[in-house]
Amino acid sequence: MSSNKETFGRTLGFVLVICLVCAALVSIAAVGLKPLQQANKLLDKQTKILEASGLLADAGKDIVGTYNKRVEAKMIDLKTGTIIEGDVNAFDERADSRDAAKSTKPSSDIAGLNRRADRAVVYLVKNEQGQLDTIVLPIVGSGLWDLMYGFVGLSPDFNTVQSVVYSDLKETPGLGAEVLNPNWKALWPGKKMFNEQGDIAIKIVKGGAKKGDIHGVDALSGATLTSNGVQRTLHFWLGNEGYGPFIAKFRNGGLN
Ligand SMILES: Cc1cc2nc3c(=O)[nH]c(=O)nc-3n(C[C@H](O)[C@H](O)[C@H](O)COP(=O)(O)O)c2cc1C
Protein backbone atom coordinates (compact mmCIF):
# COMPACT_ATOMS: atom_id res chain seq x y z
CA MET A 1 0.00 0.00 0.00
CA SER A 2 1.53 3.36 -0.97
CA SER A 3 1.66 6.10 1.63
CA ASN A 4 0.27 9.49 0.63
CA LYS A 5 3.76 10.97 1.34
CA GLU A 6 5.02 9.19 -1.80
CA THR A 7 4.77 11.85 -4.47
CA PHE A 8 6.48 12.00 -7.87
CA GLY A 9 8.60 14.94 -6.69
CA ARG A 10 9.84 13.05 -3.60
CA THR A 11 10.71 9.97 -5.68
CA LEU A 12 12.58 12.08 -8.21
CA GLY A 13 14.40 13.92 -5.42
CA PHE A 14 15.41 10.60 -3.84
CA VAL A 15 16.77 9.31 -7.18
CA LEU A 16 18.71 12.56 -7.67
CA VAL A 17 20.25 12.36 -4.19
CA ILE A 18 21.31 8.73 -4.79
CA CYS A 19 22.84 9.73 -8.17
CA LEU A 20 24.76 12.61 -6.59
CA VAL A 21 26.06 10.42 -3.76
CA CYS A 22 27.19 7.73 -6.23
CA ALA A 23 28.82 10.32 -8.52
CA ALA A 24 30.66 11.80 -5.52
CA LEU A 25 31.85 8.33 -4.43
CA VAL A 26 33.12 7.51 -7.94
CA SER A 27 34.93 10.87 -8.18
CA ILE A 28 36.52 10.44 -4.75
CA ALA A 29 37.66 6.93 -5.68
CA ALA A 30 39.05 8.12 -9.04
CA VAL A 31 40.98 11.00 -7.45
CA GLY A 32 42.09 8.91 -4.45
CA LEU A 33 43.33 6.02 -6.61
CA LYS A 34 45.20 8.20 -9.12
CA PRO A 35 48.54 8.20 -7.22
CA LEU A 36 48.30 4.41 -6.89
CA GLN A 37 47.56 4.03 -10.60
CA GLN A 38 50.53 6.25 -11.47
CA ALA A 39 52.82 4.28 -9.13
CA ASN A 40 51.69 1.01 -10.73
CA LYS A 41 52.25 2.43 -14.21
CA LEU A 42 55.77 3.51 -13.27
CA LEU A 43 56.52 0.11 -11.70
CA ASP A 44 55.27 -1.62 -14.86
CA LYS A 45 57.54 0.57 -17.01
CA GLN A 46 60.55 -0.09 -14.78
CA THR A 47 59.81 -3.83 -14.90
CA LYS A 48 59.77 -3.81 -18.71
CA ILE A 49 63.02 -1.81 -18.87
CA LEU A 50 64.70 -4.34 -16.56
CA GLU A 51 63.31 -7.17 -18.68
CA ALA A 52 64.65 -5.50 -21.83
CA SER A 53 68.09 -5.31 -20.26
CA GLY A 54 68.05 -8.89 -18.97
CA LEU A 55 67.97 -7.87 -15.30
CA LEU A 56 64.50 -8.99 -14.34
CA ALA A 57 65.53 -12.35 -12.87
CA ASP A 58 68.35 -10.72 -10.86
CA ALA A 59 66.01 -7.99 -9.61
CA GLY A 60 63.51 -10.50 -8.19
CA LYS A 61 61.05 -8.50 -6.12
CA ASP A 62 63.35 -5.48 -5.84
CA ILE A 63 62.35 -3.80 -9.09
CA VAL A 64 62.64 -0.21 -7.85
CA GLY A 65 65.97 -0.75 -6.05
CA THR A 66 67.53 -2.52 -9.04
CA TYR A 67 66.17 0.07 -11.44
CA ASN A 68 67.52 2.95 -9.36
CA LYS A 69 70.92 1.29 -9.02
CA ARG A 70 71.42 0.22 -12.63
CA VAL A 71 69.34 2.43 -14.91
CA GLU A 72 69.96 6.01 -15.92
CA ALA A 73 67.28 7.74 -17.98
CA LYS A 74 68.36 10.43 -20.46
CA MET A 75 66.23 12.75 -22.54
CA ILE A 76 67.29 13.18 -26.14
CA ASP A 77 66.40 15.43 -29.04
CA LEU A 78 65.60 12.92 -31.77
CA LYS A 79 66.43 15.25 -34.66
CA THR A 80 69.98 16.00 -33.54
CA GLY A 81 70.54 12.88 -31.43
CA THR A 82 71.94 14.98 -28.59
CA ILE A 83 71.24 14.48 -24.91
CA ILE A 84 69.24 17.41 -23.60
CA GLU A 85 67.99 18.70 -20.26
CA GLY A 86 64.49 17.67 -19.30
CA ASP A 87 62.36 16.04 -16.66
CA VAL A 88 62.53 12.37 -17.68
CA ASN A 89 59.89 11.41 -15.14
CA ALA A 90 57.34 13.93 -16.32
CA PHE A 91 57.90 13.20 -20.02
CA ASP A 92 54.83 11.71 -21.69
CA GLU A 93 55.62 10.45 -25.19
CA ARG A 94 51.95 9.90 -26.03
CA ALA A 95 50.96 13.44 -25.01
CA ASP A 96 53.88 14.97 -26.93
CA SER A 97 53.10 12.97 -30.06
CA ARG A 98 49.57 14.43 -30.06
CA ASP A 99 50.84 17.98 -29.66
CA ALA A 100 51.77 19.58 -33.00
CA ALA A 101 54.20 21.94 -31.22
CA LYS A 102 56.11 19.03 -29.70
CA SER A 103 56.02 16.50 -32.51
CA THR A 104 56.81 16.05 -36.19
CA LYS A 105 55.03 14.31 -39.04
CA PRO A 106 57.54 11.75 -40.32
CA SER A 107 58.33 12.10 -44.01
CA SER A 108 58.41 8.32 -44.26
CA ASP A 109 55.85 7.08 -41.75
CA ILE A 110 56.54 3.36 -42.12
CA ALA A 111 55.61 2.71 -38.48
CA GLY A 112 52.16 4.26 -38.99
CA LEU A 113 52.55 6.85 -36.24
CA ASN A 114 51.02 9.91 -37.86
CA ARG A 115 53.17 12.11 -35.59
CA ARG A 116 56.39 11.37 -33.74
CA ALA A 117 57.30 13.17 -30.50
CA ASP A 118 60.40 15.36 -30.96
CA ARG A 119 61.99 14.12 -27.74
CA ALA A 120 62.47 10.65 -26.32
CA VAL A 121 63.76 9.19 -23.10
CA VAL A 122 66.36 6.45 -23.48
CA TYR A 123 67.64 4.19 -20.71
CA LEU A 124 71.32 3.48 -20.11
CA VAL A 125 71.70 0.29 -18.13
CA LYS A 126 74.99 -0.32 -16.34
CA ASN A 127 76.54 -3.58 -15.13
CA GLU A 128 77.68 -4.14 -11.53
CA GLN A 129 80.98 -2.40 -12.37
CA GLY A 130 79.14 0.68 -13.62
CA GLN A 131 79.95 0.15 -17.30
CA LEU A 132 77.30 0.58 -19.96
CA ASP A 133 75.77 -2.80 -20.72
CA THR A 134 72.47 -2.15 -22.52
CA ILE A 135 70.77 0.81 -24.12
CA VAL A 136 67.02 0.44 -23.90
CA LEU A 137 65.15 2.41 -26.53
CA PRO A 138 61.37 2.87 -26.41
CA ILE A 139 59.60 1.95 -29.66
CA VAL A 140 56.07 2.40 -30.94
CA GLY A 141 54.43 1.43 -34.20
CA SER A 142 51.23 0.10 -35.74
CA GLY A 143 50.27 -3.51 -35.41
CA LEU A 144 47.08 -4.85 -36.93
CA TRP A 145 44.63 -3.23 -34.53
CA ASP A 146 46.42 -0.31 -32.93
CA LEU A 147 49.78 1.14 -31.96
CA MET A 148 52.04 -1.29 -30.11
CA TYR A 149 54.42 0.13 -27.48
CA GLY A 150 57.58 -1.58 -26.33
CA PHE A 151 61.34 -1.43 -25.85
CA VAL A 152 64.34 -2.70 -27.73
CA GLY A 153 67.49 -3.49 -25.77
CA LEU A 154 70.76 -3.05 -27.68
CA SER A 155 74.39 -3.67 -26.79
CA PRO A 156 76.65 -0.59 -26.73
CA ASP A 157 77.60 -1.32 -30.37
CA PHE A 158 73.98 -0.27 -31.13
CA ASN A 159 73.80 -3.30 -33.39
CA THR A 160 73.53 -6.48 -31.33
CA VAL A 161 70.02 -7.09 -30.10
CA GLN A 162 69.56 -8.08 -26.49
CA SER A 163 65.76 -8.00 -26.48
CA VAL A 164 62.51 -6.86 -27.99
CA VAL A 165 59.95 -6.43 -25.23
CA TYR A 166 56.42 -5.21 -25.90
CA SER A 167 54.56 -3.61 -23.03
CA ASP A 168 51.26 -2.31 -24.36
CA LEU A 169 49.31 -3.58 -27.35
CA LYS A 170 45.84 -4.51 -28.53
CA GLU A 171 46.73 -7.41 -30.85
CA THR A 172 44.74 -10.64 -30.75
CA PRO A 173 45.67 -13.17 -28.05
CA GLY A 174 47.14 -16.26 -29.74
CA LEU A 175 47.90 -14.31 -32.94
CA GLY A 176 49.53 -10.87 -32.88
CA ALA A 177 49.81 -10.85 -29.09
CA GLU A 178 52.27 -13.74 -29.44
CA VAL A 179 54.93 -10.99 -29.56
CA LEU A 180 54.69 -11.42 -25.77
CA ASN A 181 55.39 -15.16 -25.94
CA PRO A 182 58.74 -16.00 -24.26
CA ASN A 183 59.54 -18.44 -27.10
CA TRP A 184 59.29 -15.67 -29.68
CA LYS A 185 61.16 -13.19 -27.49
CA ALA A 186 63.95 -15.79 -27.17
CA LEU A 187 64.60 -15.56 -30.94
CA TRP A 188 65.94 -12.02 -30.65
CA PRO A 189 69.12 -12.01 -28.52
CA GLY A 190 72.24 -11.85 -30.68
CA LYS A 191 70.51 -10.76 -33.90
CA LYS A 192 72.14 -7.83 -35.69
CA MET A 193 70.11 -4.76 -36.55
CA PHE A 194 72.50 -3.39 -39.20
CA ASN A 195 74.49 -5.08 -41.97
CA GLU A 196 78.17 -4.44 -42.70
CA GLN A 197 77.30 -1.48 -44.91
CA GLY A 198 75.51 0.13 -41.97
CA ASP A 199 72.03 -0.32 -43.44
CA ILE A 200 69.15 -1.49 -41.24
CA ALA A 201 68.86 -5.15 -42.06
CA ILE A 202 66.71 -6.73 -39.35
CA LYS A 203 63.81 -8.60 -40.94
CA ILE A 204 60.89 -10.74 -39.89
CA VAL A 205 60.75 -13.81 -42.10
CA LYS A 206 57.41 -15.46 -42.94
CA GLY A 207 57.83 -19.23 -42.81
CA GLY A 208 60.89 -18.93 -40.57
CA ALA A 209 64.34 -17.41 -40.78
CA LYS A 210 67.16 -19.58 -42.14
CA LYS A 211 69.48 -21.10 -39.57
CA GLY A 212 72.39 -18.77 -38.92
CA ASP A 213 70.62 -15.72 -40.42
CA ILE A 214 71.92 -12.97 -38.15
CA HIS A 215 69.32 -10.47 -39.36
CA GLY A 216 66.27 -12.74 -39.63
CA VAL A 217 63.66 -13.55 -36.99
CA ASP A 218 60.71 -15.94 -37.56
CA ALA A 219 57.38 -14.25 -38.24
CA LEU A 220 54.50 -15.10 -35.93
CA SER A 221 52.36 -17.75 -37.59
CA GLY A 222 48.89 -16.51 -38.54
CA ALA A 223 49.94 -12.96 -37.67
CA THR A 224 51.90 -11.67 -40.61
CA LEU A 225 50.38 -8.22 -40.25
CA THR A 226 51.58 -7.80 -36.66
CA SER A 227 54.96 -9.26 -37.65
CA ASN A 228 55.28 -6.73 -40.46
CA GLY A 229 54.37 -4.04 -37.94
CA VAL A 230 57.27 -5.10 -35.71
CA GLN A 231 59.71 -4.96 -38.63
CA ARG A 232 58.46 -1.54 -39.78
CA THR A 233 58.59 -0.22 -36.20
CA LEU A 234 62.22 -1.28 -35.81
CA HIS A 235 63.19 0.11 -39.20
CA PHE A 236 61.54 3.41 -38.37
CA TRP A 237 63.07 3.80 -34.90
CA LEU A 238 66.58 2.76 -35.95
CA GLY A 239 66.41 5.06 -38.96
CA ASN A 240 67.04 8.75 -39.46
CA GLU A 241 63.64 9.85 -38.19
CA GLY A 242 64.01 7.75 -35.06
CA TYR A 243 67.18 7.08 -33.07
CA GLY A 244 69.49 7.18 -36.12
CA PRO A 245 71.18 10.51 -35.22
CA PHE A 246 71.55 9.43 -31.55
CA ILE A 247 73.03 6.07 -32.59
CA ALA A 248 75.46 7.74 -35.01
CA LYS A 249 76.68 10.03 -32.23
CA PHE A 250 77.16 7.46 -29.51
CA ARG A 251 77.93 4.21 -31.35
CA ASN A 252 80.74 2.10 -29.87
CA GLY A 253 80.71 3.09 -26.26
CA GLY A 254 80.38 6.85 -26.68
CA LEU A 255 77.90 6.99 -23.81
CA ASN A 256 80.23 5.50 -21.22
C1 LIG B 1 39.51 -12.26 -35.29
C2 LIG B 1 40.83 -12.15 -35.99
C3 LIG B 1 41.89 -11.61 -35.30
C4 LIG B 1 43.14 -11.47 -35.93
N5 LIG B 1 44.19 -10.93 -35.26
C6 LIG B 1 45.37 -10.77 -35.88
C7 LIG B 1 46.47 -10.17 -35.22
O8 LIG B 1 46.43 -9.79 -34.05
N9 LIG B 1 47.62 -10.01 -35.94
C10 LIG B 1 47.74 -10.41 -37.25
O11 LIG B 1 48.80 -10.22 -37.84
N12 LIG B 1 46.73 -11.01 -37.86
C13 LIG B 1 45.55 -11.20 -37.23
N14 LIG B 1 44.53 -11.79 -37.88
C15 LIG B 1 44.78 -12.39 -39.18
C16 LIG B 1 44.89 -11.36 -40.28
O17 LIG B 1 43.64 -10.95 -40.65
C18 LIG B 1 45.64 -11.99 -41.45
O19 LIG B 1 44.91 -13.06 -41.95
C20 LIG B 1 46.98 -12.51 -41.01
O21 LIG B 1 47.75 -11.49 -40.47
C22 LIG B 1 47.74 -13.12 -42.17
O23 LIG B 1 48.83 -13.80 -41.58
P24 LIG B 1 49.36 -15.20 -42.13
O25 LIG B 1 49.79 -14.87 -43.53
O26 LIG B 1 50.49 -15.52 -41.21
O27 LIG B 1 48.22 -16.14 -42.04
C28 LIG B 1 43.29 -11.91 -37.26
C29 LIG B 1 42.20 -12.47 -37.94
C30 LIG B 1 40.99 -12.59 -37.32
C31 LIG B 1 39.84 -13.17 -38.08
pLDDT in 10s for each residue of the chain, 256 residues = 455 678 888 888 889 999 899 999 888 888 888 888 888 999 999 999 999 999 999 999 999 999 999 999 999 999 999 999 999 999 999 999 999 999 999 999 999 999 999 999 999 999 999 999 999 999 999 999 999 999 999 999 999 999 999 999 999 999 999 999 999 999 999 999 999 999 999 999 999 999 999 999 999 999 999 999 999 999 999 999 999 999 999 986 677 6
Q: What is the pLDDT of residue 30?
A: 83
If one residue of 144, 145, 227 were mutated to test the ligand 1 pocket, choosing by the most ligand atoms within 8 A of its CB, it would be 144
Which distant-in-sequence residues (6+ apart) come within 8 Å of 93 by Cβ? Answer: 117, 120, 121, 138, 140
Question: Does residue 172 lie in a domain region?
Answer: yes
Residue 174 beta carbon below 6 angstroms from any ligand 1 atom: no
Rounded-to-integer distance, Cα 153 and Cα 49, Å: 8
Report how many domains make up the chain.
2
Report yes or no: 56 and 71 within 8 Å, Cβ to Cβ.
Answer: no
* Whether residue 103 sits in one domain with residue 193: yes
Range of the domain at 242: 73-251
Query: Which of these three, 66, 100, 127, is where a domain ends?
Result: 66
Q: What is the pLDDT of residue 186?
A: 97
Q: 209 CA distance to ligand 1 centroid (A)?
A: 20
Q: 169 CA distance to ligand 1 centroid (A)?
A: 15
Report yes or no: 178 and 217 within 8 Å, Cβ to Cβ.
Answer: no
* Whether residue 78 sits in one domain with residue 50: no
Question: Does residue 49 lie in a domain region?
Answer: yes
* Whether residue 206 sits in one domain with residue 240: yes
Question: Does residue 171 lie in a domain region?
Answer: yes
